[in-house]
Structure 1
Amino acid sequence: MHRLNSKNIAMKIFIFSLSISILLTTALVTISYYLTEELTFDLVHDNSSKNIRAHGESVGHWIDKQITVMETYASSPTIRSMNWDQIEPYLRNEVLKGKGPYEQFFLADPSGNYHTTGKRDAGNLKDRDYFHKVMAGNSVFTQPLLSKTLGRFTYIIAIPIWGEKQEVIGLLGASIDFSTLKAYVDSFRVNHKSSYSYIVDQKGYVIAHPNTDYITKLNITIPSKVIPPELARNAWQVIQNEEGCIDYTFKDVKTYAYYKKIPHTDGWTLVTRVPFDYLYEPIKAKNRRLFIIGSIATMFIGFFSLFIGMLVSKPLVHLKKTLEENTSLLEKTLRHDQFKTEFFSNISHELKTPLNIIFGNIQLMELASNQKQDSPSYFKSTKYLSVMKQNCYRLMRLIDNLIDITRIDAGYIKLNLENHNIVEIVEEITLSTVEYIENKGKMIEFDTDTEEKMMACDPDKIERIMLNLISNAVKFTNLGDLIQVNVFDHNERVLICVKDSGIGIPEEKQQQIFERFAQVDSSLNKNQEGSGIGLSLVKSLVEMHGGTISVESQVGKGTEFVISLPVQHVHSDDNTMDGALTSKQNKVERIHIEFSDIYS
């Protein structure tokens, strides 16, 4: 076997690189000379297709943003009061602040009678299709309509106003001037004097165009002075398909029309007109440059390969040696991690065996003590047994947390994901702690803005998370304090909040509490103890669900932990509707373990 040295490497790199560079460069120049026109055209064509796709999504996001803003307005207590005397100043102020593209706002009751920010008792909207859609609970962004109060065409955003019983109690609307969407769509044209973008509805009528005279009057399915017959014949593709491109000739100019359905609309399509000249412009210049670049590249690569061969030969020899050393070190590290994981797994059994024996003896002693309740030492022995039992639970909790953290680090813990009602799971966990918390002289309550939210989760891991957070809340609150557990449905995410009115966490410590073995200054509450593992474990379990956890706290005022979980689903034969996690006895056992370091 030849020894690896710098001279051999340099010569091999030089010969190999020079041979390959000459061969590839010659072939590339020859083939590309004939194919560059087609390849470049396809590249520009694909880029235009990607642009129209992105622009269509952008318009959809813009429309969705306006709907979201209006839904936010509609959910405010002021709007839901349906009191126009209070609402008008509020809406007029929003227009003056210029927070959105709105010309005016209007409010309608279920009978269709409406007021605008410019006129009270402006009329009735029952003859508008969007009014009935909103009364059915839908948010609507309309195509251009003739405004009853402004006397000209505008876009209308109409949002349902929901009552306390989730019934529609009214309609909040706003008008948007043509120029707003026109300016937005105009920015999508390519850099060519004959290029422009426009929007058509599901019937082919133009609803946004640089020439406002065409809006609601021009139909791309009907030939006219500005709609060539070739475009009108193929317009059905634009209306029916999700995205694509059609070509046609207009006034002897070959043109491509790229189109994309706009999300969050009732079948609207964005169309961008791109002249063929724009697509062909880069091709001729690239043909000339290609030959020059190829010739220069051949000479450059020959000299450069020699320089590189000399430059990298010594580092390659050193790299090979370093790689062998690192490979050996990696193998040792992996074996060490495996031994560590096996050690913690084995030691957990070794520690739990004497614990179980101690538990068994404590139960026998409790049984014997209960049979001698008249004995003078009964209350004292009961107290001692209770302390022993609690500290056994505490030791078991520490062992479980250490083992789980180690298994998570090693990647041995997997989620058992099934579709469950997360609201019911959190509620049952919370209610299972009520008796324990009330015995501590504190209160806990559960609330939610939705009764059912099916999503993929591991109920056992959710139970560990919730009991740990509730345990923290109990530990660091005072007598009579309230602990609140809330679930909020944010469509694509679910928020679970655990809030207390306890001692709080200093701001400089809030980012450290999720670190392993980190603890808040014990001077804040000397009666409580902990290992500093619990919140680190909670964070790991939340992140395994694809979620995040954050904390907001003020010293002396309380703390709120907020868990944000993505709403996902897994394929299974049956969705698990029952939120029950374990038996009642196991729930009590788990509470005793998780709450074992609470002494008052």
Structure 2
Amino acid sequence: MLLKFANFSNYLRRINPFYWSISAKLLIVIFLAATIPMSLTAHNNLKLSLQNLAQSEFDKLEVIAVSNATRLDQLILGNRLIVNQIARNTDIVKFLAVNSVIKEELFSKVEKSLDVILRSSSDYDAVFIIDKNGICRASTNPTFIGQSQSSQDYFKKAIQSKAAASVSFSVEAASGRPELFFAHPIRSERGETLGVAVLEIQGSDVWKAMNSIRVDSHVGAFLVDERGVVIAHPNTSYLYRSLNKLPPNTQKELGANNSYGREKIDSLELPELAEAIVGTKQIGHVSYYSPIEKTHQIAGFAPLQTKSWVLGVNKPKDIFEAPMRAMIWQNTLFVLMVGGFAVLVSLLLSHQLIKSIRTLIKAGKALQRGEFKPELLIKVSRSPDDLGRLACVFLQMAEEIKIREQHLKSQVQNLRVEIDETKKERQISEITKTEYFRGLQKKAQRLKNRAKTKEQTESAYFQNLQKKVKDQKNRFVTSR
């Protein structure tokens, strides 16, 4: 347990910046100081550039959508004028208004008029006339004659229309071919509805006009009707499927009419796109994810003026972001290069710095052991920077320490002598204060006194003897 705690403590010390070496700290600080401002600036510039690029791309797609929608509007308006002219043709009006005898005489004229219109454009598939009961009376396609068209959506809309021609879209169940029907009511001079003039156009030919304006191969146009069902798209997997789930009653109605050539309209699960464009009256753009293509897409869209349809132009988001990603990599590489240069500079600086610091550390340890030599710091002290001044201060400090050390040694020597004398006096005092020493001192005094007395006795004896000798000498002299 203690070993684990010690290992954990060592790990904390390694990751704690306070325990890092100066070179590591200097390296990190210089690297961050060089890269963080550049990274923030580059990020901000790239963010603004990406926003501007995205807005520019959205604007471009909107322009393409508006252009294609305008061309489609022009096509619809042109065909409306054609069907309007058919409905106002006097021979056709008379053909539906008069009795059957005269009608037979006018039939050939009506057929010629319809045939002329059919040959005027390669987009036209058929031109025919329907009476007010829904029976086809004349057609460029003989198979239509005598057939009832009363259940068709274009007939219902036209027969109820007051003035303008209606436009209807349907898909032929057998072939799956998309068709556009332009229908206009035929009225007599008194305003009585006599029937309907119909112009049939192949939808595939019409959709070609949608992609007439393209910037690159990645841009594609699509068309959504008023229900949110895709009726034109370069990717056939999108065709005749709703952008989002349809309400049950709408689904039931479309299945009964078989308007799109199928009983059930599947959903593409594109709620963002559906919310943005279905039924819109404004030009705009949207970003969304396509589960079919499994890519993020951007789209510009514009509503048609002649029909409640919306034309969209989409493009994979990755395509227009590719240059920006390249720019991001270039900026990242440049930041890393600058960071690498900063690291190299910091390594050179830290190497010189650490070398000088290690010299100072070595000199400090030598000073601690009493083995300091000024030659260790001569080279460092010549540097004009702070480390050079620090080395000079260190040399001065070492010199002062040496002088103080010598002075302290002298003081210690003197103090040691004083301490020895004091110690001797203390020891003598301790000895003289003992009873034994006092007894010895008394004995010595007695011996001294005894010796002094003996010395005095001997002196008196010799003096007396000398006196006697002197008296004998005097007597001897006197006797002679």
Higher relative contact order (CA 8 A, sep 6+): 2
Task: Please state which structure has a larger fraction of its residues in helix.
Answer: 2
After TM superposition, the score normalised by the length of structure 1 is 0.38
